[in-house]
């Protein structure tokens, strides 16, 4: 039984009084309470005229109602369409239209835009979820109106979530997450994330980053854990304080927080000793930064690689022994670990031929995983291009070494070709990141009359740094071949990122083109 609604019901039978969800402002819901509420909400949704297979859009930020909506939709056999809460009405309109959504859940801050979308797309209804402790909210009225009798369960392979890709390389595509593919993600992560039964997840992400819901929150329900949902953390210090307060055993660390969190963790080890896993997530980080982080947290260090198309699942992951006993990888902290259980990763050339596992031959990484999505919604061309002969073609370039460790070098679309020579932005970024005074860096290609393309570096200075463009270029001249050196260095207060915390290289390229 791989239905996601059944996963919650089973947890409620086994641990009815265990806290499934708590918030920083006082909410505590047991598994029994959450199971009953989501069954009621599922029946209420079906009672409005929605039918199994209909799509329900959710234009919401992080809140307990959002998690309950996931499970209610699962139990009803409906399909959830998460819409980034940071989107404008224009951006949200694309997903509502592309998915063919019939209803929309939103929050008070985007109520006017939601009403406009509902009118423009002929939605059956739109609902303001209100706040969790308002018994008179529309959301609570729906919950109260529904029956406690479980509706008929969907098939294991029924569509559950349309998770739209972040759109860093073009128009977002709706990755089709099924009940079975998501349940396989939960199985994978129980091992890969080292989460035992009763694990306590400290969650402070934006739920618009759908992979954190599918991979972290659903995974914790699978192990009958407790989710501590926090929405007002201002930085890594507050995150560490929350870990201590709630005795968290699992959390994630976004790339921008790595350096300050390393220092705070070093100064306050008493706050996190009960932790089992700190998962670095979102965007790549320099190997030197990850090594300093691992020096502090030790066996709790966890790095991996995954994509939306893996239903929020990891494809590769590091192991405790890699840190404690020493790794046999060529360059462990530059790697993303080895393939997870039941996952196979190959590196192939442009003709699909396997390349040697020598840590040097770079090709496209292709993956086979039981957590893979069923394809892209209403996009046969993109599905056929990426899902071929049982393998998902990731579009990521990388290599495998002799010990089976995977190295993700670049998105194929991020590769810079200068004078016929391949320039991997990550190589230039690692070089610049080692320069004192650099907090963050991203490198993109821009058109060049003679060479076709040339690298441009975007640098965020560390606090108090007076780093100049000449300093960066001089540093690169010491370590990089001439064709790899940035032609320009632009300084920013922060790098542009999407809800998944991925650097928006497209935005950087556009800023160079219009400068």
Is residue 160 within 8 A of residue 178, CB to CB? The reply is yes
Q: What is the pLDDT of residue 168?
A: 47
Q: What is the pLDDT of residue 42?
A: 98
Is residue 369 within 8 A of residue 402, CB to CB? The reply is no
Write out 147-210 in H/E/C secondary structure. Answer: CCCCCCCCCCCCEEEEEECCCCCCCCCEEEEEHHHHHHHHHHHHHHCCCCCCCEEEECCCCCCH
Angle between helices 64-76 and 31-47 (to 10 degrees): 60
In this structure, the number of other CB atoms found within 10 A of the CB of residue 86 comes to 12
Q: What is the pLDDT of residue 170?
A: 55
Which residue, chain included where needed, has tokens 């080890």? 269
Is residue 203 within 8 A of residue 230, CB to CB? The reply is yes
CA distance 473 to 8: 55
Interior CA angle at 53 toward 50 and 59, to 5°?
Answer: 70
Mean pLDDT of residues grouped by 10 in the chain (515 residues)? 96 98 95 98 98 98 97 98 88 94 97 96 96 94 97 98 73 92 96 96 92 95 98 90 97 88 96 96 81 96 93 94 93 96 95 96 96 97 94 94 93 78 83 94 86 91 95 92 90 87 86 79
3-state secondary structure of 405: coil
In this structure, the number of other CB atoms found within 10 A of the CB of residue 51 comes to 11
Question: Which CATH number is 415-514 given?
Answer: 3.30.300.30
From the CA atom positions of the chain, what is the Rg in Å?
23
Question: Which CATH number is 200-411 given?
Answer: 3.40.50.12780
Q: Print burial letters for 157-180: b (CB count within 10 Å at least 16), e (below 16).
A: ebbbbbbbbbebeeebbbbbbbbb
Token pair of 266, please?
Answer: 């070093």
Q: Could you check whether 4-17+26-154 and 200-411 share the same CATH topology?
A: yes
| Domain range list for the chain | 4-17+26-154, 200-411, 415-514
pTM: 0.85
Could you tell me which residues come within 8 angstroms of residue 500 by beta carbon, excluding any fewer than 6 positions away? 166, 209, 211, 282
Give the CATH architecture of domain 4-17+26-154.
3-Layer(aba) Sandwich (3.40)
Q: What is the pLDDT of residue 15?
A: 98
Q: What is the pLDDT of residue 417?
A: 79
CA distance 200 to 190: 13
Token pair of 72, please?
Answer: 């209610």
DSSP 23-72: ETTS-EEEHHHHHHHHHHHHHHHHHTT--TT-EEEEE--S-HHHHHHHHH
Token pair of 319, please?
Answer: 């192991």
């Amino acid at each position: 039984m791989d239905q996601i609604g059944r996963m919650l019901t089973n947890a409620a039978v086994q641990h009815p009084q265990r806290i499934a969800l708590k918030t920083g402002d006082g909410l505590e819901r047991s598994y029994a309470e959450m199971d009953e509420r989501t069954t009621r909400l599922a029946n209420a949704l079906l009672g409005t005229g929605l039918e199994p297979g209909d799509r329900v859009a959710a234009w919401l930020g992080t809140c307990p109602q959002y998690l309950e909506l996931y499970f209610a939709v699962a139990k009803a056999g409906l399909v959830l369409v998460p819409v980034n809460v940071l989107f404008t009405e224009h951006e949200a309109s694309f997903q509502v239209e592309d998915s063919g959504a019939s209803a929309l859940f939103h929050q008070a801050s985007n109520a006017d835009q939601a009403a406009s979308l509902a009118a423009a797309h002929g939605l059956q209804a739109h609902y303001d979820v209100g706040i969790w402790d308002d018994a008179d909210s529309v959301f609570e009225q729906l919950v109260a109106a529904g029956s406690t009798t479980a509706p008929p369960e969907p098939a294991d392979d029924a569509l559950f979530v349309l998770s739209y890709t972040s759109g860093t390389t073009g128009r977002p595509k709706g990755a089709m997450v099924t009940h079975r593919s998501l349940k396989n993600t939960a199985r994978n992560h129980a091992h890969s994330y080292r989460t035992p039964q009763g694990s306590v997840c400290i969650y402070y992400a934006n739920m618009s980053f759908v992979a954190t819901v599918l991979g972290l929150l659903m995974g914790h329900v699978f192990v009958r854990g407790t989710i501590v949902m926090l929405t007002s953390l201002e930085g890594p210090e507050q995150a560490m304080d929350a870990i201590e307060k709630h005795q968290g055993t699992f959390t994630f660390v976004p790339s921008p927080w790595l350096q300050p969190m390393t220092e705070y963790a070093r100064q306050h080890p008493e706050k996190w000793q009960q932790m089992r896993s700190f998962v670095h997530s979102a965007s790549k980080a320099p190997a030197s930064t990850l090594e300093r982080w691992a020096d502090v947290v030790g066996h709790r260090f966890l790095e991996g690689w995954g994509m939306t198309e893996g239903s929020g699942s990891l494809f590769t992951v590091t192991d405790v022994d890699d840190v404690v006993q020493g790794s046999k990888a060529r360059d462990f902290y530059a790697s993303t670990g080895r393939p997870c259980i039941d996952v196979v990763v190959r590196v192939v050339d442009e003709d699909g031929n396997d390349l040697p596992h020598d840590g040097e031959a770079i090709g496209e990484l292709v993956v086979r995983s039981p957590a893979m999505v069923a394809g892209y919604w209403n996009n046969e061309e993109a599905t056929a291009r990426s899902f071929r002969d049982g393998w998902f073609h990731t579009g990521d370039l990388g290599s495998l070494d002799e010990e089976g460790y995977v190295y993700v070098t670049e998105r194929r679309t991020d590769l810079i070709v200068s004078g016929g020579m391949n320039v991997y932005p990550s190589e230039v970024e690692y070089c610049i990141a080692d320069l004192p005074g650099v907090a963050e860096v991203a490198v993109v290609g821009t058109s060049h009359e003679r060479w076709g393309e040339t690298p441009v570096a975007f640098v965020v200075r560390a606090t108090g740094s007076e780093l100049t463009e000449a300093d960066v270029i001089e540093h690169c001249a010491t370590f990089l071949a001439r064709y790899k050196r940035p032609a320009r260095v632009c300084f920013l207060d922060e790098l542009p990122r999407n809800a998944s915390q991925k650097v928006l290289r497209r935005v950087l390229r556009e800023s160079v083109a219009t400068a």
